[in-house]
Amino acid sequence: MKMKIVNGFDLMKYAKDNHYILPAFNTTNLEMTYAIAKGLNQAGLPGYIQISSNNLRLSSPDTITYLAKDALKDSDVPIGLHLDHGKSYEHVKACVDAGFTSIMIDASHLPFEENIKEVKRAVEYCHFYGVPVEAELGALQGKEEDIVNEADSKTDPEMVADFVERTGCDLLAVSVGNVHGLDLTPKVDLPLLDEISKVSPVPLVMHGGSGIPFETIQKAREFNLLKVNYGSDLRKAFISTFGEAYEQNHNEVNVIGLSIQSIENVSRKAAELVTIINE
């Protein structure tokens, strides 16, 4: 059966029913979008193509939706299209209207009550169109592309149930020692994740997957972890394709050849990651 972009609620149910962790792989452009779809299909495992508000500066929600639909036209596995770190209600609305099937609204930098207000607003819009919403409670240190965050505020278990119930969010991204990017070393606090999982009415999400040991991710499955974000691993595979070619030949100009090779390199990494975390 050929798949189209899968609804986020259906993807979450499929993962729960089959005991999968869903990797959410960050894209920026055509090559990475095709590579993520190819990698997940090579592995025969479900996941998300996702893009952040920051990366949408290069294109648009409509452009990414078009690319994802084309990349998934022959897909045999369930794959959703997710907005990562949606920075405003306007971004959320634009992505839902374009056909994204899962949304994150990131208001974690705001005070608790304002975070709730922003998430609830996004939830009301998204749920009307049958789209699930991920929210974040706590803050991650690290560098994600050109965005640096020096804050380090772990998720407080005592705030979790109230936050989820009042916002109506469907997934909760937590801060438990995970970090963005590859410049800092994550120190994931599994006992804290366990504590959060016992009070959270919804499944949990871990950002910054690229730096986290696979055995930690596999252990976290016991604590209601449903989704793990991967960006840096795939971006490194993409960028190194061009960097290595340039180092070997400063007159290298074969853009199409290197672009096709980058798809192979990124898809191989995506297939490797989704397979390992689901062992």
Sequence-ordered list of residues with C-beta below 8 angstroms from that of 246, at least 6 positions apart, any chain: 252
On whether residue 82 sits in a domain, the answer given is yes
Query: Residues annotated in the binding site, as ranges?
Result: 85, 106, 136, 180, 207
40-54, 60-74, 105-119, 207-221, range with the lowest pLDDT:
207-221
What pLDDT does 72 receive?
A: 97
Model confidence band, residue 141 (pLDDT cutoffs 50, 70, 90) = low
Average pLDDT over residues 189-203: 96
On whether residue 120 sits in a domain, the answer given is yes
Residue-range definition of the domain harbouring residue 139: 8-277
What pLDDT does 152 receive?
A: 57
Query: Residues annotated in the binding site for Zn(2+), as ranges?
Result: 85, 106, 136, 180, 207
On whether residue 2 sits in a domain, the answer given is no
On whether residue 3 sits in a domain, the answer given is no
On whether residue 258 sits in a domain, the answer given is yes
* Catalytic (active site) residue 170: no
Check: CB of residue 51 under 8 Å from CB of residue 64: yes
Instruction: Report how many domains make up the chain.
Output: 1
CA angle 35, 59, 271 (to 5 degrees): 15
Distance CA 104, CA 146 (A): 19
Q: Does the pLDDT of residue 52 top 50, yes or no? A: yes
On whether residue 94 sits in a domain, the answer given is yes
Rg, Å, the chain Cα set: 18
CATH number of the domain residue 61 falls in = 3.20.20.70
- Given the residues 84, 170, 183, 194, the one annotated as active site: 84
pTM of the complete model: 0.93
On whether residue 239 sits in a domain, the answer given is yes
On whether residue 229 sits in a domain, the answer given is yes
